[in-house]
Structure 1
């Protein structure tokens, strides 16, 4: 099966997650097309038979190029097995309302674009303090200091929250279901 692993990334963690997914897809005997949807390039001469899309939540929404890609490809995405990996630090919050809000972003994407992925995974991202400018570093430190799950994250060291085992289990489960899919 040819599987598009499309993503957009702001600070690199979503690209890292999409790359790991593409590698796993290939390890399971499928062909993966890793594609940055923000590039706006054509992603293949052959139409992929399935898709896993990955996007980060920043400022309460997904990046505009991702949103536009999904809206433009909605009919195709709804006609093949598809999955969505939503990346947000809020998903690891100790606060139930923040975790619920993180899950709600995917619901809003579905409502606004008309794409209905068969599976959705909510995955934590990373803090990349070493890549932030002064203002962003200051702002992120203040936000991180308020969240008990992120204790110690208020410093300046980069910290990854992605649960790679969870990502791998999600992809394996989705692949198994997708192999049984009949249009």
Structure 2
């Protein structure tokens, strides 16, 4: 079985999530092709047994290349089980309203593109303090402080639940074998 794992990334965490998915699939003896949607060169998504798409949410939106890719390939994507991984810090917020808002992002993308993935997973992202410029670091520390999150900007923080992500991948794959 061959699985396409695609991503767009802003700070690198979505690439890490997509790489983890590809490695998890390979550990289970599947062929996984990993690719950035912003780079040409991969084959038609509908020729795979499943597709995973990983995308971060920044300022309430996914990167534009994700939306364009889904719009361009929705006719092929609808032919295979598709797992969409929405990556945001808001999904792990203590504020239920923020978590609820984070759960709406995939639906908004689907309404825009006309494609509704068969499976959606919400993964918490990462605070990449060491990679932020001065102003973004200040802003993210302020947001994290309001949320009761880590504010020590001398290191990065990762909040992704890797076991839950593996379970999601296994559920999508079970549909194929099913």
Scaled by the length of structure 2, the TM-score of the pair is 0.95
* Correspondences of 1:89-100 after superposition (within 5 Å): 89-100=89-100
Are 2:168 and 1:155 aligned? Answer: no
Deviation at 1:63, TM superposition (A): 0.2
What is the match of residue 80 of structure 2? Answer: 80
Count matched residues. Answer: 176
Residues 68-94 of structure 1: CA deviation (Å, up to 9, x unaligned): 001101111111111100000000001
* Correspondences of 1:113-124 after superposition (within 5 Å): 113-124=113-124
What is the match of residue 53 of structure 1? Answer: 53
What is the match of residue 19 of structure 1? Answer: 19
Are 2:125 and 1:128 aligned? Answer: no
Deviation at 1:65, TM superposition (A): 0.6
What is the match of residue 168 of structure 1? Answer: 166
Scaled by the length of structure 1, the TM-score of the pair is 0.93
- Taking only aligned residues, the RMSD between alpha carbons, in angstroms, comes to 1.3
- Gaps spanning 5+ residues in structure 2: where? none
Runs of 4 or more above 4 Å deviation: none
Are 2:108 and 1:111 aligned? Answer: no
Residues 41-98 of structure 1: CA deviation (Å, up to 9, x unaligned): 0213893222010000011100001110011011111111111000000000011110
